[in-house]
Amino acid sequence: MVPTPDLQNDRYRVIVVPLAAPLSPEGSALIGRIGAGFSPQDLLLSLTDTSLTCHLHALSPNLLRDRIQMISAASPRPGSLAGAVAVLGGLADAVDRQTSYTIHDGKRVYAGFTAERKVIGRSEKVQRRGGCYYAGDHQFSREENRLSGVPVDSIVCGDSEEVLSRLPDNCVDLVLTSPPYNFGLSYHEGDDGRHWDAYFSKLFSILDQCVRVLKFGGRCLVNIQPLFSDNIPTHHLISQHLLLRRMIWKGEILWEKNNYNCKYTAWGSWKSPSAPYLKYTWEFIEVFSKGDLKKTGPKEGIDITADEFKAWVVARWSIGPERQMKRYNHPAMFPEELVERALKLFSYQGDLVLDPFNGVGTTTLVARRLQRRFIGVDLSPEYCATARERLSNRGT
């Protein structure tokens, strides 16, 4: 006899079909024969005077209906089975209405398929596959250095490449930044309209400095959008560059801004396949680690809650755009909530946070509030003054 599985676990999806009246003995026997034709690991039927209950795990399409028709047709008294056949037909209809399932070995699996599957010997299998193979020959040192060259908890006005060159190797715990993507818009004085080759050359030089000053295990988070107007996949180019620098790709977060204001006819074609323009309501946050995916720190420096952790490791963050950009005269601020999530998920209290494109200082403001040390660098004296004022006012 096959042992009855534990019905208290999440292995089954339960379907209940009510009975208009108790079934005849022949009808009850028919349901018993139908149920006996399936493995109890896949399907279990239980009958009372008021309902038929099905514990459903996996079923081949149409098999239930075929079995009902075959067994009922073989009965010498088919009229006595009318009630049972109607109830079983109702069950088959209910099974057909189940839209959430996966396919395995020709069966529809209705329960348990979303549970995380444990991989035996995961570490050994990753090692055999050559996980992070592109970073295996890195030359990163584990030796950490104390910050020097610029004051801690400071806003530095200057060229990031030059400012970061003053810092020693391996002194920063986390880089969080959003490089400017305002080319051609002229929303601030400067040389942002330079040729793309020069732009990426400069950006990559700054990112190289960020990699150098990061500690072993430190993280680099870059918030960026593709440059749609020129069909440049900026997020891919940045990721490719960091991979070539032997950084480990930790993941990608979609910052869902829920911004549906882009006009359908602003670019491309209308109702034509000639040149449709793809609309994005999100931006990307590329996440990289230096040398190791794991970053150890003091237990007392962990300030993320269990609920926050469970919500934020789902890498689609629905956060509205910053609404105070006019107040600070900056057109591309990211919101404080985004910075808070990034810092609490990827750093400890007391860690040193660097933003080489600090703008009006959202990163440094939130870092101070969350008891992180910080360095913010920006080329604009106006933005640096605003960032310092926000820190001094302890406001937002």
Q: What is the pLDDT of residues 257-276, one digit of tens each?
A: 887 655 555 566 778 888 88
Average pLDDT, the chain: 86
Burial of 394 (0-12, 13-18, 19+ CB in 10 A): exposed
Highest mean pLDDT among 220-234, 323-337, 359-373: 359-373
Residue 52: closest CA among 19, 83, 25? 19
pLDDT score, position 395: 47
Two structure tokens written together for 250? 């930790």
Q: Is the pLDDT of residue 341 over 90?
A: yes
Block residue for tokens 């003091």: 298
Q: Which of 90-99, 110-119, 328-337 has the lowest mean pLDDT?
A: 110-119
Which residues pair with residue 289 across a beta bridge?
A: 219, 248
Superfamily designation of domain 122-393: Vaccinia Virus protein VP39 (3.40.50.150)
Q: What is the DSSP letter of 63?
A: H
Which residues pair with residue 256 across a beta bridge?
A: 282, 318
Region 102-117: mean pLDDT is 79
The pTM of this model reads 0.67
Contacts of 331 (CB under 8 A, 6+ apart): 182, 185, 187, 325
Region 103-119: mean pLDDT is 76
Angstrom CA distances, 70 to 58, 67, 106, 169, stand at 20, 5, 21, 76
Q: Is the pLDDT of residue 279 over 70?
A: yes
> Are the CB atoms for 222 and 179 separated by under 8 Å?
yes
Q: Provide the percentage of residues in the chain whose pLDDT is more than 90.
A: 57
pLDDT score, position 54: 94
pLDDT score, position 69: 86
User: For residue range 124-181, what is the model confidence (pLDDT) as tens digits?
Assistant: 666 665 668 889 889 999 999 999 999 999 999 999 999 999 999 999 999 999 998 7
User: Hey, where are the domains in the chain?
Assistant: 13-109, 122-393
In one letter, which amino acid is 167? L
* Complete DSSP assignment for 211-265: HHHEEEEEEEEEEE--BGGGTB-HHHHHHHHHHHTTEEEEEEEEEE-----S-TT
Q: Please give the Cα distance from 52 to 17 (Å, whole number).
A: 5
Residue 317: closest CA among 233, 258, 358? 258
pLDDT score, position 50: 94
Q: What is the DSSP letter of 134?
A: G
**Terminal Cα-to-Cα distance of the chain (whole angstroms):** 69
Length of the chain equals 396
Angstrom CA distances, 146 to 161, 213, 329, stand at 19, 11, 35
Q: Give me the torsion for CA of 368, 356, 246, 287, rounded to 10°.
A: 50
Residue 208: closest CA among 258, 242, 255, 167? 242
Two structure tokens written together for 157? 């006005």
Highest mean pLDDT among 9-23, 108-122, 302-316: 302-316
Two structure tokens written together for 296? 């150890």
Q: Which of 129-133, 302-306, 380-384 has the lowest mean pLDDT?
A: 129-133
pLDDT-based confidence at residue 285 (cuts at 50, 70, 90): very high
Q: Is the pLDDT of residue 332 over 80?
A: no
Contacts of 309 (CB under 8 A, 6+ apart): 345
Q: Does the CA dihedral 45-46-49-50 come out positive or negative?
A: negative
pLDDT score, position 184: 35
Q: How many other CB atoms are there within 10 angstroms of residue 24's CB atom?
A: 16
Residue 354: closest CA among 218, 235, 228, 234? 218
pLDDT score, position 23: 92
Residue 281: closest CA among 255, 300, 301? 255
